[in-house]
Structure 1
Amino acid sequence: YWDEFVWGGAWLYYATGNSSYLQLATHPKLAKHAGAFWGGPDYGVLSWDNKLAGAQVLLSRLRLFLSPGYPYEEILRTFHNQTSIVMCSFLPVFTSFNRTKGGLIQLNHGRPQPLQYVVNAAFLAALYSDYLDAADTPGWYCGPNFYSTDVLREFAKTQMDYILGKNPRKMSYVVGFGNHYPKHVHHRGASIPKNKIRYNCKGGWKWRDSKKPNPNTLVGAMVAGPDKHDGFHDVRTNYNYTEPTLAGNAGLVAALVALSGDKSTGIDKNTIFSAVPPMFPTPPPPPAPWKP
């Protein structure tokens, strides 16, 4: 839960302008407990269970656009540097994460239900690209090598293209999009027919276990996704392939919105900071005109 203190503190600071929240979000001990200073196999993966990567991007925005300086600069610089490292890990030239033969990044290291993590990474990459562009920064360094922001948007685009059907199975993993998408979605709203009969939880099992296609099309729902071999089983009882989640669809919408405009569209740099007071004292008014 330490990551959620950083995440919540950042959002509450932006919402209220109360500096106590920024002090919380940037407290070194809090960041240490959240795992901000060390790696690990899942480092940099934004998920329902770990918000640290999102919090670091959010606080990098503060450093890029408002540059609050002391006493926040040291930890904000650390968050910013860690964000850059996370973005490097998404690039195919590095080996932090494997990819399927079809090109899907394995952020959960081959475990089931990969797409919820992929859409979050695509969102963060596109968003960070927008941040750098808005700060007139053409890219960032991964070790000695410089990469342009276009690389981040390309990563995000290729991952979303895979999800929407550009994959070995030619399967769209978003229900209702394209001509070939899952028809046996693991979801009550899709599998229980609209016959004006109220079913309890156990009563719904016969629909869960049915091999017939869903009577209702759950348009826009992103399912759990393929396995590490690009394989997919359209079976309702196998939720590791066919279950949609709120966490997954939140990332899906965020990534699609982030990619919906071209590079020239940019972002609104200021509205998110509308409640934040000036980071430095307001300069005094000019002296009154001198009269001899």
Structure 2
Amino acid sequence: MPPPKESEKNHVTYMHTVSEAGRLLPSSSRWNSIALDFNLTPKSSASYESIPSQYPKSVDCNLVITDKKHFHIFIFVTLAIFFAIIAVALLVHFLPQKDKHQDSSINLKLAINQALTFYDAQKSGNYPKNSPVKYRGDSGLKDGNQAKTNLIGGYYDSGNNIKFTFTTAYTMTLLSWSAVEYQTKYADIDELDHVKDIIRWGTDYLLKAFIPPNGSNNLRLPEDMSYARPVSVCDGSATDLAAEIVAALSSASMVFNDDKDYSGKLVLAAERLYEVVTREDPKKQGTYTSVDACGKQARTLYNSSSYQDELAWGATWLFLATKKTHYLANATDFFLSAKSDETNLDKEVFYWNNKLNAVAVLLSGIRYFQDPGFPYEDVLKLSSNSTHSLMCSYLFKKYMSRTTGGLIIPKPENGPLLQYAATASFLSKLYSDYIDHLKISGASCETDEFSVAMLRDFARSQVNYILGQNPMKMSYLVGYGDKFPVHVHHRSASIPWDKRTYNCDDGKTWLNSKNPNPQILLGAMVGGPDTNDNFIDQRSNQRFNEPTIASNAGLVAALVALQDLPNNSDGLKNSLWEWT
């Protein structure tokens, strides 16, 4: 047959289906045929599956046997090779295999249980009698008295006795996100009720007041507090704080979808608060830490740098919870504004101060699974492109540095590294599930292509590092494995639980003690190592050795995302997208 024409050799055909909205959806063979047509990132080259062969598909030839002896040898060798291949294949199939999806030394189920138990140790208020943490008790039972309101409950933020509403709301949002995406996984390992209890403890507190209560920074057990606990009061100008609470209440409403009364109560509060914050004069909108009366005490620990990302975050979750399209219109508008104001400082991270990357992933999910079409398509394409850029920053060292041990370093001079690694693991695994659910093998950014397998390998690598596969050979999850931090910066864990009341001077004694903590703060992820993989297990070094509820939320989300279901069933079953 004649060789193909040049035009035929270079022609590549992509198959598509047409959605109800009338736009093309990506095919499994060529994701980038539409996903990267927004002209914000360079187009990738064609994948190798799409490149036609340079040789004709068939040729004419004549076979002449000139030596029967050599022919018989050829047949014998060919059959021997064939049977050898069959034997090797059977051997590989029947021999015990190491789980290629999860390192056999990593017990994700145990790690999830422990990471959730940390929140039981952080509870403030009337302490549950059935709690697995036995060295905690009632505390903060007068919280809110100074402001003549009831602010009992909630969570202590870290190793101190302070309750920050901003990080509490972020924590509840992230835990709720993991629960609505991976409800089936939580249920499979008998942790669904546990995580729902943790979320409800937080949302009950958020419902009591839209003001952030802050306590004094004294070195005493929460149970021993007898000093005044001042309350900082914020108004509608604390845009980021209010929008973060909106996100928390909205996302949690879907977690409690089976409890219509409670779910409805959460949505109603979220909508009312959203109306307050968006009705505020734009000239008065701002960050909660920019006003002394509101966020002065929080400024040194949780200084907020923007409020646009929280507005997009809150509006997106409110849309998902209510299905009201005007919230999606707001979310896309806020997303565009936040992207235009985005700085390099937080460009490739997702944590308590920057939700923009997480919003991009959520908006991408809305595009893929709900397909709202016009007039949102351009912004949703932008969210997909932004998500692809984020995934590439995780995967390729030319975009983001790593330690020698493999831990990503998105912000080398700003805070503990593990919090960023945990959320990166969660977003990369979640996004791999999105595109895998659509039967798409991968995507690309600039000149680089990535696959579902690459995203999942990266997600596992960061979690495995946290759980002990690192140069220090130490698990940074307290209580997990044979070696973990024993001098955690945490008052309840570092002061003896012997029914005695310790004053501030006593507390300082324990802070500076060289002895291990008398209590194991099970499931707390500490700050982690420096950029050289070095870690100092020293109680007074808060950057290395202090856990926070916000950081642990990222780890919980990553762990449950990586947890396998029986028979490798779809991890997105009963997920956010089925519910919406």
The two structures have a TM-score, normalised by structure 2, of 0.45
What does residue 387 of structure 2 align with?
83
Percent of pairs with identical residues:
47
Shift of 1:207: 1.5
Q: What are the equivalent positions in structure 2 for 1:190-209 lying under 5 Å apart?
A: 190-199=493-502, 203-209=506-512
Aligned partners of 1:10 and 1:25: how far apart in 2? 5
Q: What's the counterpart of residue 410 of structure 2? A: 107
Matched with 1:25 is 331
Aligned match of 1:236? 539
Instruction: Give the aligned partner of residue 224 of structure 1.
Output: 527
| Residue identity in the other structure for 1:105 | I
Please report how far the alpha carbon of residue 204 of structure 1 lies from its aligned counterpart in structure 2 after TM superposition: 2.3
Residue 402 of structure 2: SS of its match in structure 1?
A: coil
2-structure distance, mates of 1:76, 1:166:
37
Counterpart residue identity of residue 66, structure 1: Q
Do residues 245 (structure 1) and 548 (structure 2) align?
A: yes
Structure 1 position 50 matched with structure 2 position 358: no
Aligned residue number for residue 287 of structure 1: none
1:2 and 1:26 mapped to 2: Cα distance? 11
CA contact (8 A) 1:186 1:239 kept: yes
**Which residue is equivalent to 2:514?**
211
Partner of 1:14: 320
In structure 1, what is the equivalent of residue 127 of structure 2?
none
Query: Alpha carbons of 1:208 and 1:81: their partners in 2 closer, same or farther (altered >3 Å)?
Result: same
Matched residue type, 1:56: A
Deviations 1:106-133 (A, max 9, x none): 1212544110111000000000000000
Could you tell me how far 1:209 is from its partner in structure 2?
1.6
More displaced stretch, 264-273 vs 149-158: 264-273
- AA of the residue aligned to 2:344: G
Q: C-alpha displacement at 1:273, in angstroms?
A: 4.5
The 1:128/1:206 distance shift into structure 2, 3 A limit, reads: same
Is this contact kept in 2: 1:236–1:242, CA < 8 A? yes
How far apart, CA to CA, are the structure 2 residues paired with 1:131 and 1:63? 11
Q: For residues 34 and 252 of structure 1, what CA distance do their matches in structure 2 show?
A: 26
**5+ unaligned residues in a row in structure 2: which ranges?**
1-306
Preserved CA contact (<8 Å) 1:111 1:227: no
Compared CA separation, residues 189 and 258, structure 1 to 2 (3 A): same
Q: How far apart in 2 are the matches of 1:205 and 1:71?
A: 59
Does residue 1:254 correspond to 2:557, yes or no?
yes
- 1:162 maps to what in 2? 465
Structure 1 equivalent of residue 221 of structure 2: none
* Greater fraction of residues in helix: 2
Counterpart contact for 2:442–2:450, Cα < 8 Å:
yes
Task: Name the count of aligned residue pairs.
Answer: 273
CA offsets 1:76-103 (integer angstroms, 9 cap, x no match):
1101110010000001x34222111111
Distance 1:243 1:227, change over 3 A: same
- Radius of gyration: which is bigger? 2
- Structure 1 residues 128 and 201: CA distance shift in structure 2, 3 A: farther
Shift of 1:198: 3.2
Query: What's the RMSD between the two structures over aligned residues?
Result: 1.9
Distance in 1 (CA, whole Å) between partners of 2:505 and 2:380 is 51
Q: How far apart are the structure 2 equivalents of 1:266 and 1:13?
A: 25
Give the letter for the 1:140 counterpart.
Answer: A
Contact 1:191–1:214, Cα closer than 8 Å, also in 2: yes
1:209, 1:236 within 8 Å by CA — same for their partners in 2?
Answer: yes
**Residue 311 (structure 2) pairs with residue 5 (structure 1):** yes
Any idea what SS the aligned residue of 1:88 has?
helix
Following superposition, the deviation at residue 15 of structure 1 comes to 0.7
The residue type paired with residue 552 of structure 2 is N
Q: Which amino acid aligns with 2:317?
A: W
Q: Aligned equivalents of 1:144 and 1:223: distance in 2? A: 36
